Homo-oligomer: A and B are copies of this chain.
Amino acid sequence: MANVGFIGLGNMGMPMGGRLVDAGHRVRCYDTSAAALERAAARGLLPGSDVCSAVQEADFVISMLPSGSDVLAVFGERTDGRTLPLREGCVVIDCSTIDVNSCAAFHHSVALRNLLTLDAPVSGGVEGAAKGTLTFMVGGSQAAFDAALPVLEAMGKKIVHAGAAGAGQIAKICNNMIAGISMIAVSEALTLGQRLGLDAKKLFEISSASSGQCWALTSYAPVPGLVPAAPSNRDYQGGFASELMLKDLRLAEQAAIGSGTPALLGAAAAALYGMHCKTGKGRLDFSSIVQMLNEGERK
């Protein structure tokens, strides 16, 4: 069993840390929220008084933070002048979903100290975190991947080594860009079909076995009555929030700008989710985008 330092106890970090406790690890943790630290203690984690105390004895340091600047505030050059007290041999795993530039800076910063690093963003949501069924998309050296695998397996079901440093983030945003675009595509097609008198079930049946087949339709249809488990059947509660899809689409758009990739549909999807979230639907599942096409005609 290992000593783990866990930083960031939000909706995802808390249950991920809990899974590590369940697996028998000794998990010191830190979050800027005192309430989160209390909940963590109740879940069997050991709250540190600050981020340094949480990581100083750790074999593995794991972070799950909202943004690249949060990650760099912990692992990059610190404004308080202190150096994060990481042990020799410690493996540092950032599970946050962040922009590719910050991710590169994270690897660079920690690698300067001769420590192994991984970017390992996840998919699977809060439920996957609680059940330990997350998918990890992992970027970093083979040595780092091998070292971290047992710890990651305590939190996830599928651990994919996507490539060198950064590859985890890239894989995640590329995948989610496809997911976001195809969700809008499916929403447009289902709406168009319905307006023209085509039964949604028929389009579902036909496209599920044809060139229009995609996860957004077949496994997660945005209109009710097609896929029983889909959030569309429960008023778009739960699932993967529109505001999280928007975050990932923006990360993809930034990466496209940075790399000179003219990803028009990706950028359009980001803008459409941006408008959708502005109407107050950011916390609804991302399949609720279908409502933009369907709102009350005249108010």
Contacts and interface: CB of A to CB of B under 8 A. Distances in A.
Contacts of A170: 192-193, 196-198
Contacts of A195: 259-261
A178 B182 contact: yes
Where chain A touches its partner, the secondary structure class is: helix
Given A192-B252, A261-B192, A293-B278, A206 B267 contact: no
Interface in A165-206: 166-167, 170-171, 173-179, 181-182, 184-186, 188-193, 195-199, 202-203, 205-206
Contacts of A182: 178, 181-182, 185, 212, 214
A54 to B, nearest CB: 29
A125 to B, nearest CB: 11
A253 interface: yes
A294 interface: yes
Kindly report how many copies of this chain are found in the complex they form together. Answer: 4
Interface in A257-299: 257, 259-275, 277-280, 282, 292-299
A207 B189 CA distance: 22
A164 B206 contact: no
A283 to B, nearest CB: 8
Contact of A268 (B176, B261, B267, B279): B267
A138 to B, nearest CB: 10
A202 B163 contact: yes
Contacts of A264: 184, 188, 267-268, 271-272, 275
Interface residues of A, number: 89
A189 B196 CA distance: 30
Contacts of A212: 174-179, 182, 215
A250 B160 CA distance: 33
Nearest to A240: B211
A294 B279 CA distance: 9
Q: Which 7 A-B pairs have the closest CB atoms?
A: A280-B299, A262-B274, A214-B214, A178-B212, A267-B267, A264-B271, A181-B185
